[in-house]
Amino acid sequence: MKFRGTSARLLSNGINFYSRFTFLAISFFYLISCSATEPWVNTDYEDWQEKHLAESAEVVYSFFMIGDTGDPALDRPDPVFELLKAAIAMKSSDRSVVFLGDNIYDDGFVPEPTDERLRSERILEANLDILSDPDVPGFFVPGNHDWWSSFNGMLAQEEFINEYPQNEGHIHFTPKAGCPGPEVWELHESVTLITLDSEWFIMADGEDYSEKAGCPNPTREEALQVLRDASEEHKDNILILATHHPFYSRGEHGGKYTWKQHIFPFTDLHPALWVPLPVVGSLYPFVRNRGVGDQDFSARANKNFRFDVLEQFSDHPLFISAAGHDHNLQYFNIDGMHQIVSGAGSKLGYAVKGGDAGFLLEDYGFAKMELYDNGEIWIEFWTTQAPLNDNPVFRYPIDHLQKLQEGDSL
């Protein structure tokens, strides 16, 4: 009987171990299936490969969007940066690039002359090298990590960019350090860029920094009024708002989580920490969705930013929001507002399939908008996952400029 009891316990333990292993294995494969590690396209856009430009159409303006570029490879050519430079060089049309914040990881641009300051400079130099052609304007928008080096770090980053030897007046840190913006840039006769410091809107003491910086629109109300005026003034243009924080996202900041966060929560701290904590690990996404961190959609300050800013563009016929923050590539069309998340410049984060997203991809890369001489407007996504000749991995026509300017007559 003792032998049988021991055997039963061993059998029971084996079954328990097998059950737990099976549960973790199934969960792991479900994790892979719900995160867009390959290009994911909503059924509404599955005909994207059948969409074609008119043969005679030529591009007249290209606008590149890349965010979270603050941790590039410094010991070799960075693959994302090399792909971006190659894509820029392929076009002979007018073009420009916006860097969507978190330009220096982890703690922003160090103002003091230390080894960390030298690292900050090397990171920015790698970014600035993309803009070596003075005919390609560049715009650097601050993100929350850029603010981690304090107001002095923001000033130092702005100064370094402005005084960079290869900057012939075509590279801009915008908005002015410590200011909310908005700053309006006429990129093309039909394309207007507005830059905004979204972290300023989310942080509690933004107006204190505005006073130090001598900003033209030092209060939230004044900045929102300028946004509203710009939206009305440029109602016949493609209007691109560049911020660090997005308005829509299927990533972690948007409150979406995979089984990886529920079972292996420590991997968010370090990718090698595959310590299984089922049930207990689920507390992590639960707590984050209660609004404990201002960087997440669930936080009140983040909600207020998104509502207040979007409200100013509610009547604009062709509004594109370009942002980073979540480290992936995403596209949404929500009631005619086009949201591009392009935060995969140097870090990766998951994007959960489904919802209102049209396209999702967890891979390094960037987004692009192209305007053609026949009035068509296309959105593209490029990734290092594919060879240069196989890019973009997704492109879609989002509207027609003449339709925008003439109402619905086309």
**Residue range 26-47: average pLDDT?**
74
The pLDDT mean for the chain works out to 87
Cα dist from 334 to 65, 110, 129, whole Å: 19, 39, 35
**The amino acid at 306:** R
70-102 pLDDT per residue, tens:
999 999 999 999 999 999 999 778 999 999 999
Confidence at residue 265, expressed as pLDDT on a 0 to 100 scale: 58
Cα dist from 362 to 38, 103, 251, 382, whole Å: 7, 20, 10, 12
d(CA 51, CA 273): 43
Q: Do residues 323 and 224 lie in contact, with contact meaning Cβ atoms separated by under 8 Å? A: no
- Position 11 confidence tier, pLDDT thresholds 50, 70, 90: very low
Which of 144-148, 275-279, 330-334 is the least confident region?
Answer: 275-279
343-375 pLDDT per residue, tens:
999 999 989 999 999 999 999 999 999 999 999
Confidence at residue 7, expressed as pLDDT on a 0 to 100 scale: 40
**Residue range 16-24: average pLDDT?**
45
Confidence at residue 374, expressed as pLDDT on a 0 to 100 scale: 94
- Position 294 confidence tier, pLDDT thresholds 50, 70, 90: confident
Q: Do residues 356 and 250 lie in contact, with contact meaning Cβ atoms separated by under 8 Å? A: no
What residues pair up with 366 in beta bridges, in sequence order?
A: 382
Cα dist from 280 to 258, 298, 391, whole Å: 15, 21, 41
Task: Please give the full DSSP string across 257-295, using - where no structure is assigned.
Answer: --HHHHH-GGGGT-TT-----TTTTTHHHHHHTTT-STT
201-242 pLDDT per residue, tens:
999 999 999 999 999 999 999 999 999 999 999 999 999 999
Query: pTM for the whole thing?
Result: 0.86
The yes-or-no verdict on residue 10 having pLDDT over 70 is no
Confidence at residue 124, expressed as pLDDT on a 0 to 100 scale: 97
Compute the Cα dihedral for 331, 307, 196, 212 and give only its sign.
Answer: negative
Q: In what order do the strands lie in the sheet with 138-140?
A: 171-173, 138-140, 94-99, 59-66, 365-372, 376-383, 394-400
Confidence at residue 23, expressed as pLDDT on a 0 to 100 scale: 47
Judged on CB neighbours under 10 Å (0-12, 13-18, 19+), 374 is middle
**The amino acid at 160:** F
Going along the chain from its start, the domains and CATH numbers come out as 2-34+256-287 (no CATH), 40-254+296-406 (3.60.21.10)
**Residue range 383-406: average pLDDT?**
90
146-204 pLDDT per residue, tens:
999 999 999 999 999 999 999 999 999 999 999 999 999 999 999 999 999 999 999 99
The yes-or-no verdict on residue 1 having pLDDT over 70 is no
Number of helices (H), then strands (E), belonging to the chain: the values are: 12, 15
- DSSP class of 89: H
- Considering only residues 235 and 266, tell me which one the structure prediction assigns the higher pLDDT: 235
The yes-or-no verdict on residue 327 having pLDDT over 70 is yes
- DSSP class of 222: H
- Considering only residues 405 and 116, tell me which one the structure prediction assigns the higher pLDDT: 116
The rounded Cα 20 to chain-centroid distance in angstroms is 37
